[in-house]
Each structure stands twice: as C-alpha cells, then as structure tokens.
Amino acid sequence: MNPLSHSQRQTLEALLIAREKQLDAEITAAREATRLRDSERLGEVTDRKESADDKATEEVAQAETERDLDELKAVQAARLRLNAGLYGQCIDCAEPIAFARLQAQPAALRCARCQAGHEEKTGRKR
C-alpha cells in the first residue's frame, strides 16, 4: 500500500529526475576536469609541495565524485522503486516514509525513526 497521492508521487519523481540530471552533470564535469588536469601535467616539473597539494586536491575531488556516484545509484534505485510502486515505504519497519522527509531526501530508504536508529548503530549520518 502506497499512501502517497498521485500528485505527491509526481512531485517526488520530478525531484528525483532533477537530482539525477544534476549528479550526472557534476560527475561528467569532475571527470573532464581530471582528464584536463592530467593532460596539462604531462611533462610538467613540480616540486614536492606542489605535488602534495595536487595529490590532496585530487583525493578530495575523487571522494566527491565517489559520493556523487553513490548518491546517483540511490536516486536511480528510488526511481525504480517509484515505478514499481514500492517507493516511500521504510525498509526496516515497512511503515510509510513521511512526504516531507521524501521531499527533503527523495532517495530515503527509511523513515526518520528507523534512520536515526540505523545511524546510531552504524555511527554514520546520512
């Protein structure tokens, strides 16, 4: 049973689609920036400090891209659940996830109560 109205589902689907497009664009831009950085560095001589700074910048960029890829997968999975009629139900307690929570976090898998418990158990916030 899905307590979301047709209008709410449409709103959430639009949010998911918009976020998917935004993440796709960010991932593409990050990959292009990495490619350009790598091609500009060919044959370049750098000192240790520059090299360390470059490495730190690359690691941050890579972590951001990995986070974006993880979120993109979550958004795509949410769209699949929406199309299958399984969207908006907590994976832990099977209760409906509040519309306001889904508006704020459209790819949410858990209701606020179960998410808080999950974060407490795993020591992570999401």
9 band by pLDDT with thresholds 50, 70 and 90 = very high
The per-residue pLDDT for range 18-63, each reduced to its tens digit, is: 999 999 999 999 999 888 877 776 666 666 666 677 678 788 889 9
Q: What is the 3-state secondary structure (H, E, C) of 67-119?
A: HHHHHHHHHHHHHHHHHHCCCCECCCCCCECCHHHHHHCCCCCCCHHHHHHHH
Query: According to the model, what pLDDT value does residue 100 have?
Result: 97
Query: According to the model, what pLDDT value does residue 45 have?
Result: 60
Rounded to a whole number of angstroms, the distance between the first and last alpha carbons of the chain is 26
> Rounded mean pLDDT of the chain?
89
Of the two residues 114 and 58, the one the predictor is more confident about is 114
Domain segments of the chain as ranges: 6-89
Q: Which helix (H) or strand (E) holds 48?
A: helix 48-84
Query: According to the model, what pLDDT value does residue 44 have?
Result: 63
pLDDT at 76 > cutoff 90? yes
